[in-house]
Structure 1
């Protein structure tokens, strides 16, 4: 166990850059699912590894060993297990507290934004705030709403407004806030997983861009709407509460998104022409192997610890 348990903690060193590279060569929707799934899996493996390290060290303590009816200490080098256990336990506790705080903050931000939206008249799923600062975002809830300020409506002509609304509705239909929340929660479990948040946000915006282009039937119009909205938006000027995981058309690298809409046949990433399929064939198995190896190592460490405990309990019962 003492070797396998470290694999999930170190695997993000290879898995994160591999996932980022693979996401660049995938369609936006597939990239979003890949990055979110990878982040969730690696975060779960990290938490499992920390828990196993803490448990292995705790079982070496006489009171815990007596409580578990163990005749001897679990296998493993005590010079490594004993110092690592309290550190792992503290890190696991910090992760749990950070995840709980982030989830509660997300809930509070949504409630505050919905209270602000409820104070104004609705037109279907559209809520117009009287703010002069241009802004627009997707507000999930029951029902879902597209929140837009009067300043943003003045900044866009009618056709571009419809493209902007289609973009925000695509965020709501795809439940993109849950993707962003999953990425944020995973990032507090392992600092290296923060490297997946930026490409995930970009993939979600590109997903909504493509959905909006299909909805309005004009890629150039959609590109103009996104570009004009981004130029007009001043997020620091608005005083309205806005959830951190609320997707917005003005987020991310807008010039890159506009270029992708205007040149849909261009590869998504830097790998040009025929190199992209070959690169994908090499990178995808590598990423799958990273995640599978991390999960297998966590399972192996857990099975090894369980077997050791059962053996020690059996010796105690026959002693």
Structure 2
């Protein structure tokens, strides 16, 4: 039998049921390593879970020109998630503005990289132990090598490793390096180049993600020597892809050995010049790859962090800087 409610109980304040916490507000962990300048937060649970179900759309093959082998995901990451992922990575990752000297035509030239960069990973000859030490895969012993001592490698943090695992599943490729470029505005760029370094092995696969502002991605075939047997053979056409936030391009096969690609400067003011992040996953086969990537994407300069108040990259506090950095 049900009990009757009294008049006092009718007017008594109701007790609110505790609200179930939203997954995105739950406390997440951090990736840490001796060679990280800062702890790097893991992705919000809602984003991390959904990454495993991507891509948002199937990739489209682009192989209608000589030596071209692309798969274009338009998009790979849905727009609502791409926006959150862009803001998260820009705020949480340590970046660098690498400077170095090269010789051109017998003259020494000082280069200041026209974008912010960072890198994580380790080549195929080694692995990270549970305590973060670098271990030789064959012998199982700790590695002591000058190519690792100059720029100590660091593992891919979970916030980027979640995306790496998703990309591996979608492309059936293996990756052990993650390079991140931040283009602060339309004036930041990268000139025509190809990622055909020998340390990547023959016909490397590279998965390239775009987040943030839309930027043009240009491709052109490397110069083709004259062919007397086929003098009328048409030259490959230049390709222009307006990469939007969430898009991904898989470059594979003979693409890197025969095509160049670039992100040109954007002239004039544009509403979409609010920053762009490019994430590329690659597979370095030997130690020279590890040395190269850290040399040109971390270097010896200061750490930069995103300043939410100033809305720009600024040199991080002294405690975040590597030893010997002014």
Q: TM-score scaled to structure 2, two decimals?
A: 0.23
Going by fraction, where is strand more abundant, 1 or 2? 2
Which protein is richer in helix relative to its size? 1
